[in-house]
């Protein structure tokens, strides 16, 4: 890594450069489902008229996803922003490994399947959808077919229901595809393949950043112990739970266990193998630790079965979580945070729990820890353990308080912050709450802007992907799709829309101009931040959004 060079004749701002990532706040079409447009946002409106403004790509190939039909997400978005380049991400790496068959030729798959006896079971666990953010159902179906071809007699699937990266009540669409696939295998001979358990992704198993370990414990009891409310089929479970809780969306459905004659069909026992087929790391780490970490103290697992466990990818390289994995994750090096630390730039990274790991771990190229303890401060504001629609303002005020303290007391030269509101509240589908969440971020921006004007800093405002900008599912004609009740269908997933980029130099010392190069993505934000700090960006980084004129 070469040291950064200073830009000749550039006068560094007296205040810090502040990079604000408004998570899930994209540029929509201004229609009825665009809560960003509907919200009262005087600060963003003022910035659009008075700052440099453009839009950036934040989905598909611009962030390392397989195609431009794939939405962006916070993980790949922060990888791109922090590294200044585009790396092939988990979805693409796994897709290639499955297509080539390499995933099945490796030692781990051979170990997972080769140690099974006829009395043991191969288990698959993960998010059942085609959202392509955490997982993809086609990968699961391919692995099931491979197990069948290898003659593995008994397979169980532990399904986590989405409703977040896909339509909010679409679980049965995926369950039915899976059940048909399993039935086809069972009819081909002496095979016993079936769904064993499930539940909503925000109720069991898929916690992140140590925010709610009881969620993981519920998943452990459901998947491993086979404890929970019993049903004959997953379809019956989902239909019953929906009828009992009208309006519930898939991500919040309670756990269920499939049973035959009162006995759970798929508890995980000694000698079994378990594959976690999620490829995104943040919500896979804790359940992986539950299987892999002999010293886990976050909850009482009881007697831990002696099994083979593997993730489809390694979710945390430095801590080796999990120890076994089927596909190697992207190797992201020479990230902006390391360049700045080596240049002596004092840095602050801050968010609340829900996005703290994004603005640290993912921003740093899937690396835990700091590059320089003396130059970096990482601050996590603890998130509320409540449904986000009940607290749409989340911890915006508390986050902003820390930022203002840094600006006014000249503690840092570069501040990066993630406001999770547009994404976390956007996933709930509650339009009023989403509108309030966007307005909260705007109020926080107003406070930062006033402080930066006094300090003479530079403000960069952007997003990692869209969400709150498109809360209705749109048809090919651009109009909202209508449900059977005649009302617009809610959309809780990310969008394919571009994201905004506002840049305001409050120092008045330099003449920044927009780079006129077309097609820039959010990976250009690293070079932009480095340039605003007065350094020449690394040669292999994507071009800066601004140039010094």
* Pair 265, 309 in one domain: yes
- Those residues whose C-beta lies under 8 Å from the C-beta of residue 415, and which sit 6 or more positions away, are 16, 17, 18, 19, 347, 348, 349, 350, 403, 406, 407
Looking at the 3D structure of the chain, how many domains does it have? 2
Q: What is the dihedral of CA 131, 137, 139, 142, to 10 degrees?
A: -160
From the list 225, 236, 301, 238, the residue with the least C-alpha distance to 265 is 225
* Pair 192, 308 in one domain: yes
* Pair 147, 71 in one domain: no
Q: Output the pLDDT for position 438.
A: 98
Residue 500 lies in a domain: no
Distance of alpha carbon 278 from alpha carbon 179, whole angstroms: 19
Residue 501 lies in a domain: no
What are the φ and ψ backbone dihedral angles of 499, each rounded to 5 degrees? Answer: -120, 155
Q: What is the CB neighbour count within 10 angstroms for residue 484? A: 6
Give the CATH number, domain containing residue 274: 3.40.1450.10
* Pair 267, 388 in one domain: no
- Tell which of 292, 312, 327 closes a domain: 327
* Pair 353, 367 in one domain: yes
Distance of alpha carbon 521 from alpha carbon 484, whole angstroms: 38
Choose the catalytic residue: 67, 74, 145, 273. 74
Three-state SS annotation for 122-146:
EEEEEEECCCCCCCCHHHHHHHHHH
Q: Output the pLDDT for position 504.
A: 97
Rounded to two decimals, the pTM is 0.86
Q: Which domain holds residue 382?
A: 5-87+332-493+514-548
Query: Per-residue pLDDT tens for 177-195?
Result: 999 999 999 999 899 999 9
Instruction: Count Cβ atoms within 10 A of the Cβ of residue 41 and give its class: 0-12 exposed, 13-18 middle, 19 or more buried.
Output: buried
* Pair 397, 312 in one domain: no
Residue 506 lies in a domain: no
58-75 per-residue burial string, b: 16 or more CB within 10 A, e: under 16: bbbebbbbbeeebbbbbb
Q: Output the pLDDT for position 405.
A: 98
Q: Are 416 and 376 in contact (CB under 8 A)?
A: no
* Pair 405, 481 in one domain: yes
From the list 24, 44, 46, 53, the residue with the least C-alpha distance to 433 is 24
- Tell which of 282, 297, 327 closes a domain: 327
The shares of helix, strand and coil residues in the chain, as percent rounded to the nearest 5, are 35, 20, 45
- Tell which of 309, 327, 345 closes a domain: 327
Distance of alpha carbon 347 from alpha carbon 358, whole angstroms: 15
Q: Output the pLDDT for position 399.
A: 98
Q: Output the pLDDT for position 368.
A: 86
**Which residues of the chain are modeled with pLDDT < 50?**
none
Based on the residue annotation, tell me whether 74 is a catalytic residue of this protein.
yes
Q: Output the pLDDT for position 159.
A: 98
From the list 514, 531, 456, the residue with the least C-alpha distance to 53 is 514
Residue 504 lies in a domain: no
Cis amide linkage into residue 243, ω under 30° from 0: no
Q: Which tokens in the block code for residue 318?
A: 């430095």
Rg (CA), the chain: 24
* Pair 289, 394 in one domain: no
What are the φ and ψ backbone dihedral angles of 332, each rounded to 5 degrees? Answer: -105, 120
Q: Are 165 and 137 in contact (CB under 8 A)?
A: no
* Pair 188, 309 in one domain: yes
Query: What is the CA angle 112-114-116, rounded to 5?
Result: 80
Residue 252 lies in a domain: yes
Q: Output the pLDDT for position 509.
A: 79
């Amino acid at each position: 890594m070469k040291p950064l060079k200073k830009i000749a004749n550039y006068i560094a701002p007296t205040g810090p450069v502040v990079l604000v990532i408004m998570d899930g706040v994209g540029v929509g079409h201004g229609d009825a489902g665009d809560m960003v447009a509907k919200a009262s946002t005087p600060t963003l409106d003022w910035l659009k008229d008075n700052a440099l403004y453009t839009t950036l790509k934040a989905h598909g190939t611009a962030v390392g996803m397989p195609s431009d039909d794939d939405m962006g997400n916070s993980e790949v978005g922060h990888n791109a922003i922090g590294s200044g380049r585009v790396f092939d991400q988990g979805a693409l790496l796994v897709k290639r490994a499955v297509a080539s068959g390499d995933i099945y030729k490796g030692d781990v798959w051979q170990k997972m399947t080769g140690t099974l006896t006829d009395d043991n079971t191969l288990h698959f666990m993960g998010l059942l959808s085609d959202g392509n953010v955490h997982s993809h159902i086609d990968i699961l179906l391919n692995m099931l077919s491979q197990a069948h071809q290898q003659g593995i007699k008994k397979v169980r699937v532990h399904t986590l229901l989405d409703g977040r990266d896909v339509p909010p009540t679409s679980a049965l669409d995926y369950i039915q595809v899976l059940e048909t696939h399993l039935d086809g295998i069972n009819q081909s001979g002496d095979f016993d393949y079936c769904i064993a358990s499930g539940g909503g992704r925000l109720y069991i198993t898929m916690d992140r950043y140590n925010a709610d370990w009881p969620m993981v414990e519920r998943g452990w009891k459901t998947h491993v112990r086979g404890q929970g409310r019993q049903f004959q089929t997953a379809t019956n479970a989902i239909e019953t739970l929906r009828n009992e809780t009208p309006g519930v969306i898939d991500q919040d459905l309670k756990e269920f266990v499939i049973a035959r004659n009162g006995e759970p069909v798929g508890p995980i026992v000694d000698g079994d193998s378990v594959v976690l087929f999620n490829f995104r790391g943040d919500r896979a780490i804790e359940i992986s630790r539950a299987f892999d970490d002999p010293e886990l103290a976050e909850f009482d697992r009881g007697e831990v079965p002696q099994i083979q466990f593997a993730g489809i990818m390694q979710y945390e390289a430095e801590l080796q979580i999990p120890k076994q994995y089927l596909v190697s994750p992207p190797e992201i090096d020479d990230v902006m945070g390391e360049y700045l630390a080596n240049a002596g730039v004092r840095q602050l990274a801050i968010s609340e729990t829900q996005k703290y790991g994004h603005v640290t771990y993912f921003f740093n190229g899937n690396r835990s820890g700091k590059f320089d303890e003396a130059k970096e401060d990482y601050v996590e504001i603890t998130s509320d353990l409540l449904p986000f629609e009940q607290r749409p303002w989340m911890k915006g005020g508390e986050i902003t308080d820390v930022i203002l303290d840094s600006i006014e007391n000249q503690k840092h030269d570069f501040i990066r912050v993630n406001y999770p509101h547009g994404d976390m509240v956007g996933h709930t589908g509650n339009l009023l709450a989403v509108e309030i969440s966007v307005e909260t971020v705007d109020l926080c921006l107003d406070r930062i802007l006033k402080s930066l004007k006094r300090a003479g800093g530079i403000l960069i405002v952007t997003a990692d992907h869209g969400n709150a900008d498109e809360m209705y599912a749109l048809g090919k004609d651009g109009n909202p799709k209508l449900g059977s009740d005649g009302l617009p269908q809610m959309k809780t997933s990310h969008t394919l829309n571009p994201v905004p980029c506002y840049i305001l130099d409050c120092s008045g010392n330099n003449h920044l101009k927009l780079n006129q190069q077309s097609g820039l993505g959010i990976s250009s934000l690293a070079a932009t931040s480095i340039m605003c700090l007065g350094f020449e960006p690394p040669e292999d980084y994507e071009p800066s959004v601004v140039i010094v004129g």
